[in-house]
Amino acid sequence: MSLFLIVALPFLGALLPGLMNSAGRQAVGGVTFTVTLAAFVGLLTNLPAVLNGEVVQTGFDWFPALGLNVTLMLDGLGFLFATMILGIGLLIIAYARFYLARDDNMGEFFTYLLLFQGAMVGIVLSDNVLLLLIFWELTSLSSFLLIGYWKHLEAGRQGARMALTVTGMGGLALIAGMLILGQIVGSYDLSVILQNRELIQADPLYVPALLLILLGAFTKSAQFPFHFWLPHAMAAPTPVSAYLHSATMVKAGIFLMARMWPVLSGTPEWFYIVTTTGLITMILGAVIALFKHDLKALLAFSTVSHLGLITMLLGTGTAFGAFAAMFHILNHATFKAALFMSAGIIDHGTNTRDIRKLGGLRHLMPITFIIATIAALSMAGVPLLNGFLSKEMMLEEMAHTYLFGPEWLVPALATFGSLFSAAYCFRLIGHTFLGPKRAPESYPAKPHDPGVGLWLPPAILVVLVVVIGVAPFVVEDFVKLVTASVLGTTAEVPTAHIKIWHGLVPALYMSIVAVGGGLIVVSKFRPLSRLWEATPRPEAKIIFDDIITALVMCARAIIHPLHNGAFTRYAMIMAITTVAAGYHAWTTGVVGAVTREIQPVGWVEIGGWIMLVAAAIGLASLHYNRLLSLILIGIVGLMVSIGFVFLSAPDLAMTQITVEVVTIILLLLALNFLPNHTPVESSAVRRVRDVIMASGAGLATMALTYHYLLRDAISAPISEFHLANSYEGGGGTNVVNVILVDFRGFDTFGEIIVLGIAALLIYALTETLLNGPVRARLLNRVPDKPLSGTQHPMMMVVLTRVMMPVILMVGFYIFLRGHNEPGGGFIAGLIVSIAVVMQYMASGFGWASDRQRLPYHGVIGAGVLIAGLTGIGSWFFSKPFLTSDFTYLRIPPFEKFEVATAALFDLGVFLAVVGAVMLTLESFSRLGRRAHVKDSDSPMDIDPSQAISEPTQPQEGV
């Protein structure tokens, strides 16, 4: 199966659980299981190639200029993690089907789970660091949804926010580090980066890149000092905790360190940072876990400890350390998932996870006792179980590791951490299941073993724990294959075999001390617990909350003075900053010699410029008179249009003219509901200040433009490319239109979406006004001047209806000619909008709306949909989004004519423009109409005693 399909299946499948929610729990769980099973089977189809040492690769170039290629690869390391993600994912899905209560929204849960699963598979199969970063952030977002799934729990919401904050911060650091690596190597493909160890480690930016990448990995895998977020994520449902702790989320940071091992390891910086962090995390997590009374909290801190163990092994930089780390990743996934699912079973059966309220459960829950005991003994490192084997390998590696002191320091600390690891495992078994038999009524709920749906998934994992423990040769070759993928070309895979008995080696004595010491510590748990409670120690959550509070206060202190809602302040800051930056660049840069002469300027051009400047100055000076301001805006727009004509830009001129007509009409309608005059907003001093700043910015812009126009560009302008390729590449001789619908069609697509959103916002604001107290004021106002006796003059009605088909024909003509002559969908849409607007103006809103057959919301949606589907159509021909094509047809008796896919995209633009303009007009029109009364039938009935006259003089607060 294609790697693309393996990654895509969970994302596509995420659409199904929500749609099938009404079909029942069995259907939702079944479809989720089927999707994951399909991806898992597809992964297994690539197993023969992976076992042969091949690297399966696939992909295509997306944005080659940015180095963003959608490339995937599957090697031994990726196969190990993908197998854990999908294989354990199948067991988690089966377990969750029976774990979740009937009140839980199972469709929502499995949707989040599949999104999380897809993001994790994307991480481990990515061959491009930019693509990996996208999936990396998706895991943070999807885990946020899963951890906070039980929204009614404050602990769940807080744990989700904490996880997103910490891992999101690390993700930002990781982005920077990966970008540095890409710049060093000159490629963002991992397969290329991993071949340039010497180049990367010799670069001065190696250390900054290493620190940033490790920050991303440490935050994701809950390494000290970022370990605190993971235990708070236990507020999630137990299936989430089991999945997150065993095969996903926290293993992402471990995967990243293993993936980047060939190019980042082997230096003192890597050794000291990674090994020290892992050792501290291992010991700290084990000690804290011992004194936790909540089963899931104990297991959460045990995960922190074991992740530290794996990190420590990777930090050694040796081939044997990497070998032991890969083996322990596999083992940890099996026993940790089984333990979390067992904790969920205990919670279901007893209605508590507090170890202090448990004990003696082996008599009442024998199946759960067997499963949890085997998994816990494996985690403790007891022989004949898989955890023992990888723990022995860890101790053997630590016996030969020297760090910050005498030779015995690291082995002693590793043994100390293993001792507490064994202790909390023995406590879990002893304080939960052992002890005297108790009456079922002494528990919060009557304990009982669950049905097969809950105990079978962890039982399958426990079988693996035992099989690997007694017959490690069944996975030895595979683990070595995975290790070879980690090592790359930097080292050879160790020839050591995974055995139960290695003789009387230091690791054996260290293991005996750890297990024996663990039993002693558990026997002295009560006095040690009292000592632990009495010992003052920092609380990570409190520190985190204090840091967040301080950052929020600092942000408010900075933002509130700047972001106070005053547009003039924003404009002032922007203008001053821009002018200052430009002045600095001008004075410190080098200005080339003049290469062009000033063209002659006639009196016509001077007159037009004077009119433009006078209108602009008048607009700024007389803005308090809104009608006059609108007239001056029209003059400015008209002069700009004439300027476009003078500079041989007919497309822009036509667009400007039509935009001016539409906007002036809509603004006139808007002004109808506002006072004629606005109050004086600013004092004289502030107005002088604003004039000075505006003049400085304007003069600076003018000076820059003047100097730029007198000099040739350093490089060839982009217009030369467009002129050369407009006909050959886009099939049109109108370069402007070809740019809009082909070369930069993505920009146009975004613009029509923004246009539609603006119209919908105007509609929403109108709805708010119509449903509030403002409606009464609008409907009962009395104009300050007498209205015309005829609301809809017959001459105007007849004229507009005669002109309607003519204008529509002109719009149709402008639309069809746009690819080769001035015109196109945007201009045609504005022309047709003007034709419809004229009908509303002449005959009234009621008359026109009664003849409306299509809702304007739908017209906007249809336009965006047609434009989007036109772009998607190129995917079926293996072309990038919005790639257009064209051909020429001859249908007798007509002449040969062009057929271009860009016409469909232009049709979408046309519909979006018409819909946006008409929805805006409809919104304004509804503000002036009484309910159930047509504006063409009768005027408003106004009670003079309740009427509100519009002020004729400026009023404060209007």
Question: Per residue in 458-503, pLDDT tens?
Answer: 999 999 999 999 999 999 999 999 999 999 876 688 888 888 887 7
The pair of three-digit structure tokens given for residue 50, joined into one six-digit string: 């992976």
Residue 406 preceded by cis peptide, ω within 30: no
How many whole angstroms separate alpha carbon 551 and alpha carbon 726?
Answer: 52
Query: Is-contact 71 128, C-beta < 8 A?
Result: yes
Cα distance between the two ends of the chain: 67
**CA 925/CA 850 separation, integer angstroms:** 14
The model's pTM? 0.74
Secondary structure of residue 71 in the 3-state scheme: strand
Q: How confident is the model at residue 767, as a pLDDT?
A: 81
**Residue 577, CA distances (Å) to 570, 581, 586, 692 in order:** 11, 6, 14, 15
Cβ contact 815:825 at 8 Å: yes
- Report the distance separating Cα 934 and Cα 928, nearest Å: 11
Q: Is 844 left (phi over 0), alpha (psi -120 to 50) or beta?
A: left
CB 133 within 8 A of CB 95: no
The three-class DSSP label of residue 443 is: coil
**Which candidate, 906, 898, 910, places its Cα nearest to that of 882?**
906
- How far are the Cα atoms of 303, 422, 510, 519 from residue 416, in angstroms, in the given order? 17, 10, 9, 13
User: Quick one: pLDDT at residue 87?
Assistant: 95
The answer to whether 424 touches 291, Cβ cutoff 8 Å, is no
pLDDT value, residue 392: 92
pLDDT on residue 620 = 82
Ranges of the chain whose pLDDT falls below 70 = 65-67, 490-491, 676, 679-681, 774-790, 928-958
- For 272, residues 6+ apart whose C-beta sits below 8 A from its C-beta are 403, 404
| Sheet strands (E) in 796-901 | 886-889, 897-900
CA 929 to chain centre: 44
**DSSP string for residues in 453-468:** HHHHHHHHHHHHHHHH
CA separation for the pair 661, 667 (Å, rounded): 10
Other CB atoms within a 10 A radius of the CB of residue 308 amount to 26
Q: Are 122 and 135 contacting, i.e. CB atoms less than 8 angstroms apart? A: yes
The answer for residues whose C-beta is within 8 angstroms of residue 171's C-beta and 6 or more apart is 133, 136, 137, 140, 216, 219, 220
Residue 787 confidence (pLDDT): 63
Q: Tell me whether the omega of the peptide bond preceding residue 436 falls within 30 degrees of 0, making it cis.
A: no
Q: Please tell me the chain's helix, strand, coil percentages from 3-state DSSP, rounded to the nearest 5.
A: 70, 5, 25
Tokens of 867: 């434009």
Let me know: does 361 contact 370? Beta carbons within 8 Å: no
The first and second tokens of residue 620, run together, are 């700024």
Decide: 456 and 463 in contact? Cβ < 8 Å. no
What is the reported pLDDT for 121?
A: 95
pLDDT at 956: 35
Q: Is 184 helix (H, G, I), strand (E, B) or coil?
A: helix
